[in-house]
Amino acid sequence: MAVDMKIPPVGESITEVTVGTWYKKEGDHVKMDDVLCGLDSDKATFELTAEADGILHILAQEGDVLPIGASICTIDGDGSAPAASPSSEPAKAEAPKPAEQAAPVAESAPALQPVAEPAAAAVATGGSVIEMKVPAVGESVTEVTIASWSKKDGDQVALDEVLCELESDKATFELPAEAAGTLRIVAQAGETLAIGALIAKIETGTAAAQPAGSPQPAPAQPASQEKSAEPASNGQNGYAANYPSPAAAKILDEKGVNAQQVQGTGVGGRITKEDAMKASPAPAQPAPQPAAPKPAAPAPAPVASAPIAGSRNQRREKMTSLRRTIARRLVAVKNETAMLTTFNEVDMKPVMDLRNKYKDKFKEKHGVGLGFMSFFAKAVCAALKDFPAVNAQIDGDSIVYNDFCDISIAVSTDRGLVVPVIRNAEQMSFAQVEKEIVRLAGLARDNKLTIEQMTGGTFTITNGGTFGSMLSTPIINAPQSAILGMHNIVERPVVVNGEIVIRPIMYVALSYDHRIIDGKESVSFLVRVKQILEDPSRLLLDM
């Protein structure tokens, strides 16, 4: 009996959802409570679990938008064995010819040719199969993307050996093997999986000697099913080489590309959605022209347009989880906050003179260089004490004031911008701030920052001046209420005591949420930072 799976109600105000990633494939054997796919609403992402055991038939593809209550897939029976015929007589009457026995198995009736599950094969040979699932990596992380595989399908792996690298929207971490044996990859690089989803299997003991899901002799197929036949199974969830997934088949049909002409990179040579997107459309075949009498005069040949010089190639790359999260959060900040930016300029000569005077002795004593960031961090901490609203944040109908300064420092990496946090910076010395900056920046560039090291900041400092930026309007790092932007230092003519002199000037920008910070507070805060930087002795006297 087929079970009709429908979109469940997920919230009072949610009327539709978008089908995210399918973790199971068309024709897969699923079990009760297996995660089938991810569903995205305008407020959250959640998982759809199987309501019964059986064979999965997908009705909606990735990216489809469905209303609440719409059918998304069906599950046929328990999928444990092919349905038995009512009697032996019809089977004898409809016994196919020898040529028909080698015909492909019909996709519409996959239950007629079950493929041995890896676990079942392992039991038969005395071994076991360890299922590797995506581990929980943080309270707010619901999915990860497979960045790259360190091992290949069928490789022998040792206990605790790194199998692949997983990437979340906040950090990157490694997945070690939970046992020694033969690796069977289930999810490919680039796929996005929910927490707890199956990512690979490890065959231990004698189970490793027999490939998972080896092909079994197929029973004779009725001739009436040959019309919807597909290639014989290669032992990977009932799919064969050069056979496209449902999403890939749709793309290939739109392009007019024959699946047999596409090289699949999925498990067992299966054609994935990415393979279909990269496939080139088949050239249009000219239709045969009927014989026609020769014209009285030949038509003039059309003038060929001049070819465009230079390369016209395009590349399409899937966004990483980090980049998708950055994009989503930045748009949310622009839409959900009353963001405003105020500017000022700072004469950096006093800081530069102090730094040049003591930087060698500072490095000799503390083992770390004296940079500009520690001056800005300490100046910001002093200003935040005087203007606590800049260090606060909105939580519903309340304002949360922080009596400590957790300063987030923006760091640019190959994967994107990350913002590690310096905890209790107001209690640190210049040397402690500089050492913490060096430590966190190193972890960021090595993709080893943890989620805890990037959450909980109360104020952010970003330095676009390292890349040559003269002026910018930085976007608030939610749920914080303000961010300070540093820029490059340029010698400019300024008036000092009635005389025009050349001084190293930096423009600074403060973007803030006008819902919580008034214009007077924002301007006064930035002026306070300017005063401290132009007279660093104020830090010693707490003035």
Enzyme catalytic residues: 514, 518
Cα–Cα distance, 244 to 249 (Å, whole number):
5
C-alpha span between 478 and 393 (Å, rounded): 9
In 3-state terms, what secondary structure has residue 54?
Answer: strand
* Residue 382 DSSP one-character state: H
Any idea of the CA torsion for 49, 53, 56, 58, to the nearest 10 degrees? Answer: -40
How far is the first Cα of the chain from the last one, in angstroms, to the nearest whole number? 79
Distance separating alpha carbons of residues 176 and 193, to the nearest angstrom: 17
Buried b (16+ CB within 10 A) or exposed e, 459-473: bbbbbbbeeebeebe
At residue 35's C-alpha, the angle toward residues 29 and 37, to 5°, is 100
Secondary structure class of 201 (helix, strand, coil): strand
Task: State the residue for tokens 């004296």.
Answer: 370
CA–CA dist 293, 434 (Å, integer): 88
**Structure-token pair, residue 84:** 């038995």
> Which structure tokens are listed for 287?
């239709």
CA–CA gap between residue 514 and residue 246 (Å, rounded): 49
HSE-CB for 477 with a 13 A CA cutoff = 25
Tell me, what amino acid is at 190?
G
CB of 509 closer than 8 Å to CB of 469: no
Element (H, E) at 523: helix 519-534
Compute the half-sphere exposure of residue 409: CA atoms within 13 Å on the CB side of its CA: 25
User: How far apart are the C-alpha atoms of 233 and 213, rounded to whole Å?
Assistant: 10
Q: What's the rounded Cα separation, in Å, for the pair 203 and 480? A: 48
Q: Are 264 and 272 in contact (CB under 8 A)?
A: yes
Q: What is the dihedral of CA 255, 259, 265, 266, to 10 degrees?
A: 110
Q: Of 479, 478, 461, nearest to 526 (Cα)?
A: 461
Task: For residue 375, give the H/E element and its range.
Answer: helix 372-386
R_g of the chain computed on alpha carbons: 32
DSSP-assigned states of every residue in 141-173: --EEEEEEESS-TT-EE-TT-EEEEEE-SS-EE
AA identity, residue 374: S
Using the 8-state DSSP alphabet, how is residue 364 labeled? H
